[in-house]
Chain A
Amino acid sequence: MAKKGDMLYAWTNDSALAKKAECGGAVTELLKYALESKAVDAVLAVTRGFDLYDAVPVIVTNPKDLDNCAGSLHCGTLLLSKLVMEYAPQLAGKKVGMVVKGCDMMGLLELEKRKMVNLDNILMIGVNCGGSVSPVAARKKIREKFGVDPDKVTTEEIDKGQFIIEYEGGHKGIKMDDLEDEGYGRRSNCRRCKVKIPRQADLACGNWGVIGDKAGKATFVEVCSDKGAALLTKAIDAKKLSTEPANPKGIEIRAKTEKAMHKLGDKWRQRDFAALAPNLWGTIAEETGRCMKCYACIDNCPVCVTRPDKFEQPDLMVRAGFAPADPMFHLRRFAHISDSCINCGQCEENCPAEIPLALFSHAIRTEADKFFEPKLGKSSYTN
């Protein structure tokens, strides 16, 4: 009987899945079981598109299909939170299972504050995330820094501070720090992120802290909610999963890993924010002065909610038909998300004008959190 606060090693009893999935396949098994047992009606999952650099979201209702969603894609820089509400209206009112990174989870929590999603209907299986690399950047890195044809790579992972690839004919790892100093690393928002273990999900899963004979064969599961505990208990009872208490040494290692990641996050914050501080207005004016009004920062932002009649009223300060956009275009967005930016990085990654938008809004929120009481209530996470 699992309960909130438990820390376990878990692995699937399905040997075929274990082979296919990573680290014991517990995440895939839990979602399959959730579907089979009707704990959820559908799972919003991620599968490979063209190759392992391409992550594509899918809605799965057949548990078998989840086998094809197993395994991690560190080059998948998707954000799932907004997809639920935007593209799956028929899921409204139904129960949905999701695998969430820290940013996906934070996005859902923020949407709930705005009553855009009902978390009672969402089962969040959290996964640790040390950060992700945009697909094109990852391929460039593999070609230029690893000297390997990116099409020949079979798996990639981030482990123990290294970016590791397996390819036809070998495997290679390079320290993230070295890569990042040369501009080949994770997305800049990921570098500053401090939600590496998503503890506000129902279960927080990952491979950090799995040691001994279970290393590579089991998933570390931290039970974070009663909903998560119930699912895990039932899956064990149904003989889908096996578990054992996490090795105390492993728990310690996991905490250490998390702490190290936080330290790295602080280092990047120090670096990015300090560089921005002396000429904040000038930098924001210059950078946003290139905005071509594609609205990608707004459309892809999990905390931007726009009015349906926004294009039906005249606008004095953001003149229609003028590009680059007037300064108020971004000022009003920064104001709108000031105490809610989760630093997911979508605005910046999708910006065709290369404006470091996440840097600006993350800086605003981080500073505001230190000073103001948040308008929509305190968040259960800090980033």
Chain B
Amino acid sequence: MTVESKELKYVPTTCPYCGVGCALNLVVNNGKVVGVEPNKRSPVNEGKLCPKGMTCWEHVHSPDRLTKPKIKKNGKFVDATWDEAIDLIAKKFKEISDKHGPKALGFQSSCRTVNEDCYALQKFARCAFLTNNVDNCARICHGPSVAGLSLSFGSGAATNPFEDVLNADLIVMWGSNAFEAHPLAGRRVIQAKKRGIPIIVVDPRYSATARLADDWIQFNPSTHIALANSMMYWIIKEGLENKAFIAERTKGFDDLKAMVEKYADAEEIHGVPLEKVKDLARKYARAKNAVIIYCLGITELTTGTDNVRSMGNLSLLTGNVGRPGVGVNPLRGQNNVQGACDMGAYPNVYSGYQAVAVPENRAKMEKLWFLKEGSLPDWYGSTLTEQINEAGNPVKAMYFMGLNPVVSYPDSNHVMRQLEKLDFCVMQDIFWNESCEYADVVLPGTCFAEKDGTFTSGERRINRVRKAVDGPGEAKYDWEIIAMIAKKLGLKGFDWKTAEDVWDDLRACTPSMFGCTYEKLGKPESVHWPCPAVDHPGTPILHVGKFSAADGKGTMFGLEYREPAEVADAEYPFTLMTGRVIFHYHTRTQTGRAKQLHYEVPESYIQVNTLDAKKLGIKEGEKIKVSSRRGEIETLARISDDVAPGVTYMSMHFHKGANTLTNTALDPLSKMPELKHCAIKIEKIEGAK
């Protein structure tokens, strides 16, 4: 910018909430953030923001921010100096690593913080302790997308950009409530609808997004595979598959065909009338360009990876991949959930999905990271919730950066019990959250407004985050904290001075992002990876002409429907589904501090069907008891026909809420816990209002 003023400074940056990556201007007045103003120059959101984006500045200067390192001494947290905290962490991790080896440590990176922080944490874990026990919270949102889309297409990311839905002739939204969870991606769907592009929403719940649809397909929770298989049966039966595409660009058709034979009529499983299934199948197969947008309704199940592959199957069968207006697009949950994975905060890959199992990759990293030849491990590390399950044995020490496992992981009581078993635990955050009690050291990091860096959005666009103000008190950049510990341990390769230094470190070892210089990322359009060379324009659409898989083919799979791990029974007769509301983000450490957002939804509620409520004698807004095999809570009843009889829905934002009830059972392929399906019981509290 040519002129700057202290009294009114606009700092263009990226919203810290969902994976759409909206741009906004933070308004700075004499060193304080005083508001958000539209950034209309952004091609992503053209200045428009959702309620969370509009209020994303309100927590920045909260008096509750962590400002000093804290160490637990005799069961009480006391303020400490950075030297004390760093010394203690280095000493403890070293001791435990020396005594118990690399599998005794667990590192968990947030998807809310910048790429630079995520890269730094995984590099530190791998260099300092030669461990692959490093993961990020994508594990509990889009882990199955990474796994499933890799198997289907050879790349675990969304195939097409958000705006590209405007080139489609049909939009199918499957298990995605974009209007609430990704509002500015939802806006693209609204634009499409205004242009007359038909929208079909496939969701067990009459969500805010289903309200926008031309057609809402209600089906039984977690029966995606049965429904998709049934659709594919009719597509093949009626000869609507894209034979040329299948022959030229795919493999696995015969497996798929054989499997779907069993699903000619699967209404008993999924609950959608046969004629409706046929109609949906025909519409999808006949559309010239059809895009599938999906989200956590697909992924957060023990069949998550197979559900994702089912979406891949549908698109491959009909040739809907590799050009504008088509594709399979997961709406990535958090602002940097794509990036945290891209950075290699993952137990089986380095940055850019370079597998740890490949000796050449390890050799390359050892060289670039100043490590002894042959030192990096080849084993698949423990995942996010596996590390929790392993707390105490074999995991003895854990490092959490920007996470609140007590509220956001399944089965909160289990999480709390497990965290207590650790010998040593570090929480690095911007606020004191419900999990900090379980730490031995709590470190003050900096929020999005206080650091430079990048967030990679769900369309693989690497958006710049720009520092607007200094962090509070003694808070430090998160990558800087990690570098301090690394240097304390005598490691080389952590002498970064700026976020750009960290980014360039990443570029040097990541061929798919080598071309993404800060200079290029500084433009409002930025760059979609892969971008292997500085003069490469980036890749908004994947799989054009050839799939990213090694053999260049897309793969179809014959997939069998499996029931969720825990289904409703006589004792726990209701199905609980979970999700988000538009007004909050995850565990509310930030959104709970925004006035409007707190006003809208100050406490947890459960959606119950009208008939069920009547039977139980429950009224709208009444406090009720909800329990599962894992715990019980009290919450408010919200009664409507948005959910079917026997089905309920809760958002995941509240402590002593949904995750007290949820199940830890894992998807075998991606280790995703079954956050979206468990069995519960609802009881009236006598005398409750």
Contacts and interface: CB of A to CB of B under 8 A. Distances in A.
Contact of B596 (A49, A295, A354): A295
B523 A59 contact: no
A56 B1 contact: yes
Interface string B89-109: 000000000000000000000
A53 B5 contact: no
B187 A354 contact: yes
Given A47-B1, A77-B40, A134-B40, A90 B7 contact: yes
A89 B211 CA distance: 43
A45 B10 CA distance: 13
Nearest to B187: A352
A362 to B, nearest CB: 19
Contact of A294 (B53, B211, B601): B53
A195 B49 CA distance: 29
A54 B10 CA distance: 12
Contact of B5 (A60, A295, A350): A60
A57 B7 CA distance: 11
Interface string A49-74: 11101101111110001001100000
Contact of B8 (A88, A300, A353): A88
A354 B45 CA distance: 12
B639 interface: no
Contacts of A119: none
A292 interface: yes
B600 A50 contact: no
Contacts of B12: 49-50
A299 B53 CA distance: 13
A311 B41 CA distance: 31
B196 interface: no
Given A77-B40, A135-B41, A292-B179, A350 B48 contact: yes
B191 interface: yes
Nearest to B180: A323
B54 A294 contact: yes
Nearest to B211: A324
Nearest to B594: A311
A48 B27 CA distance: 16
A41 B469 CA distance: 26
Among B7, B38, B194, B582: residue with most chain A CB under 10 A: B7
A48 B35 CA distance: 20
A27 to B, nearest CB: 16
Interface string B1-21: 111110111101000000000
B3 A350 contact: no
B272 interface: no
A87 B12 CA distance: 16
Contacts of A83: 8
A296 interface: yes
B48 A352 contact: yes
B524 interface: yes
B46 interface: yes
Counting chain B residues whose Cβ lies within 8 A of the other chain, the interface size class is: 35 or more
A321 B600 contact: yes
A368 interface: no
Nearest to A53: B41
Nearest to B638: A321
Interface in B420-459: none
Given A48-B1, A58-B4, A136 B187 contact: no
A92 B361 CA distance: 61
A215 B183 CA distance: 48
A349 B48 CA distance: 8
B194 to A, nearest CB: 6
B48 A296 contact: yes
Given A294-B53, A324-B208, A352-B45, A87 B3 contact: no
B489 interface: no
A296 B38 CA distance: 9
A53 to B, nearest CB: 6
Contact of A354 (B2, B10, B51, B191): B191
Contact of A136 (B42, B50, B523): B42
A333 B115 CA distance: 41
A86 interface: yes
A153 to B, nearest CB: 14
B34 interface: yes
A126 to B, nearest CB: 21
B14 to A, nearest CB: 14
A187 B572 CA distance: 56
B50 A292 contact: yes
A86 B12 CA distance: 19
B3 A60 contact: yes
A320 B601 contact: yes
B103 to A, nearest CB: 45
A293 to B, nearest CB: 6
A352 B18 CA distance: 15
A294 B50 contact: yes
A293 B51 contact: yes
A58 B183 contact: no
A3 B618 CA distance: 75
Given A320-B600, A353-B187, A58 B50 contact: no
Contacts of A311: 595-596, 598-599
A88 B48 CA distance: 23
B184 interface: yes
A351 interface: yes
Among A51, A293, A300: residue with most chain B CB under 10 A: A293
A91 B41 contact: no
B8 A136 contact: no
Contact of A65 (B3, B34, B35, B49): B3
B198 interface: no
A262 interface: no
Contacts of B186: 352
A134 B48 CA distance: 12
Given A290-B212, A294-B54, A47 B3 contact: yes
Contacts of A299: 54
B5 A58 contact: yes
Nearest to A150: B525
Interface string B26-66: 01011000110010111101111111011000000000000
B418 to A, nearest CB: 33
A274 to B, nearest CB: 19
A294 B49 contact: yes
B523 A350 contact: no
A135 B42 CA distance: 8
Interface in A307-360: 311-312, 320-321, 323-324, 349-354
17 contacts: A42-B7, A47-B1, A49-B41, A54-B524, A58-B3, A65-B3, A68-B2, A87-B29, A136-B42, A136-B43, A290-B212, A293-B583, A296-B54, A311-B598, A323-B582, A349-B38, A350-B47
Interface of B: 1-5, 7-10, 12, 25, 27, 29-30, 34-35, 38, 40-43, 45-51, 53-54, 179-180, 183-184, 186-187, 190-191, 194, 208, 211-212, 523-524, 581-583, 595-596, 598-601, 605
Given A48-B2, A134-B47, 4 more contacts: A69-B2, A136-B40, A292-B50, A352-B48
5 residue pairs, one from A and one from B, having the closest CB atoms: A311-B599, A68-B2, A54-B41, A352-B48, A59-B5
